Structure 1
Amino acid sequence: MTPRPPTPPAHPAGGAPDPSGSDRDDLRRRNLAAVLQAVHLRDGSTRADLTRETGLHRSTVRALVAELVRAGIVTEDLPAPSGGVGRPSPRVHATDATRVLTLHPELDATHGALVGLGGRVLARARVPHDAPPTPDDVLAAARELRDRLAPTGPLRGVGVAAPGLVDRRTGHVVVAPHLGWRDVPLGPLLAAALDAPVTVDNDANCGVVAEALFGAGRGARAVVYLNGGASGIGGSVADGGTPTVGAHGFGGEIGHTLVRSDGRPCHCGADGCLETEVSRARLLAALGDVPASELEPTLARVVAARPSTALAEIDRQLGYLGVALRTVVNVLNPERIVLGGFLAALVRTRGTAALDAHLARALPGAREDARVVTAALGADLLAVGAAQLVLRDVLADPLSTGR
Structure 2
Amino acid sequence: MDAARAMTAFFDAPVRGKNLDDLRRTNLATALGLIHAARSISRADLTRSMGLNRSTIATIVADLEARDLIVIGGARDTKRIGRPSLEISTSDRHVVIAVNPELDATTLGIVAMGGRVLREVRMDHERPPSAREVVNSVRALVAGMQPELGQRHEVLGVALAVPGLVSAVDGSVRLAPHLEWVDEPIAAMLAEALGVPAWAVNDASCGVVAEVLFGAGIGSGNVVYLNGGASGVGGGVVAESRLIQGRGGFGGEIGHTLVRSDGAACRCGSRGCLEAEVTRTALLEAVSLEPARAHELEALLFEAYAQSDDVRALVDAQLSSLAVALRTAVNMLNPEIVVLGGFLEILGRIGGERLERMLREVALPGPGQQVRLEGARLGRMNLLIGAAELAFRPLLSDPAAAPVVAGREHAAGALS
TM (norm. structure 2) is: 0.89
Matched, 1:304 2:311: no
Cα deviation, residue 5, structure 1: 6.0
Larger mean CA deviation between 389-398 and 291-300 belongs to: 291-300
Letter in 2 for 1:134: S
Instruction: Show structure 2 runs of 5+ residues with no match.
Output: 404-416
Do the aligned partners of residues 60 and 361 (structure 1) sit closer, same or farther apart at CA in structure 2, a change above 3 Å counting?
same
CA deviations 1:21-68 (Å, max 9, x no partner) are xx3222211110000000001122111111121222222111000001
* Paired residues of 1:232 and 1:275 also in contact (CA < 8 A): yes
The SS at the match of 2:119 is strand
Aligned to 1:50: 46
Cα deviation, residue 288, structure 1: 3.3
Aligned to 1:39: 35
CA RMSD of aligned residues (A): 2.2
Alignment of 1:287-366 (within 5 A): 287-289=287-289, 291-305=293-307, 307-366=308-367
Q: 1:183 & 1:398 partners in 2: Cα distance?
A: 34
Aligned to 1:369: 370
Letter in 2 for 1:62: A
Letter in 1 for 2:288: G
CA deviations 1:201-221 (Å, max 9, x no partner) are 111110100001100011111
Aligned to 2:65: 69
The SS at the match of 1:367 is helix
Alignment of 1:75-114 (within 5 A): 75-79=71-75, 85-114=81-110
State, as a whole percentage, how many aligned pairs show the same letter.
Answer: 45
The SS at the match of 1:76 is strand
CA deviations 1:200-248 (Å, max 9, x no partner) are 1111110100001100011111000001111000001013553101111
Letter in 2 for 1:46: S
Aligned to 1:133: 129
Matched, 1:116 2:117: no
* Paired residues of 2:100 and 2:107 also in contact (CA < 8 A): yes
Aligned to 1:383: 384
The SS at the match of 1:158 is strand
Do the aligned partners of residues 327 and 81 (structure 1) sit closer, same or farther apart at CA in structure 2, a change above 3 Å counting?
closer
More helix by share: 2
Cα deviation, residue 303, structure 1: 2.7
Do the aligned partners of residues 234 and 82 (structure 1) sit closer, same or farther apart at CA in structure 2, a change above 3 Å counting?
closer
CA deviations 1:281-334 (Å, max 9, x no partner) are 1222223345423211111102332x5111110011001100111111100100
Do the aligned partners of residues 384 and 273 (structure 1) sit closer, same or farther apart at CA in structure 2, a change above 3 Å counting?
same
Cα deviation, residue 8, structure 1: 4.7
Aligned to 1:165: 165
CA deviations 1:83-134 (Å, max 9, x no partner) are 8642222111111111111111111222101111111111111222221111
CA deviations 1:175-222 (Å, max 9, x no partner) are 110011100000111000000000111111101000011000111110
* Paired residues of 2:76 and 2:86 also in contact (CA < 8 A): no
Larger mean CA deviation between 43-52 and 269-278 belongs to: 43-52
Aligned to 2:276: 276
By relative contact order (CA 8 Å, sep 6+), the higher-ranking structure is 2
Letter in 1 for 2:52: L
* Paired residues of 1:127 and 1:145 also in contact (CA < 8 A): no
* Paired residues of 2:359 and 2:368 also in contact (CA < 8 A): no
Alignment of 1:100-249 (within 5 A): 100-151=96-147, 152-153=149-150, 154-249=154-249
Letter in 2 for 1:341: G
Q: 1:359 & 1:317 partners in 2: Cα distance?
A: 17
Letter in 2 for 1:293: H
Q: 1:263 & 1:80 partners in 2: Cα distance?
A: 57
Do the aligned partners of residues 174 and 11 (structure 1) sit closer, same or farther apart at CA in structure 2, a change above 3 Å counting?
closer
Do the aligned partners of residues 59 and 355 (structure 1) sit closer, same or farther apart at CA in structure 2, a change above 3 Å counting?
same
The SS at the match of 1:233 is strand
* Paired residues of 1:11 and 1:27 also in contact (CA < 8 A): no
* Paired residues of 2:96 and 2:156 also in contact (CA < 8 A): yes
Do the aligned partners of residues 47 and 277 (structure 1) sit closer, same or farther apart at CA in structure 2, a change above 3 Å counting?
same
* Paired residues of 2:42 and 2:76 also in contact (CA < 8 A): no
State which of 51, 56, 71 in structure 2 corresponds to 1:60.
56
Do the aligned partners of residues 11 and 320 (structure 1) sit closer, same or farther apart at CA in structure 2, a change above 3 Å counting?
closer
Instruction: Show structure 1 runs of 5+ residues with no match.
Output: none
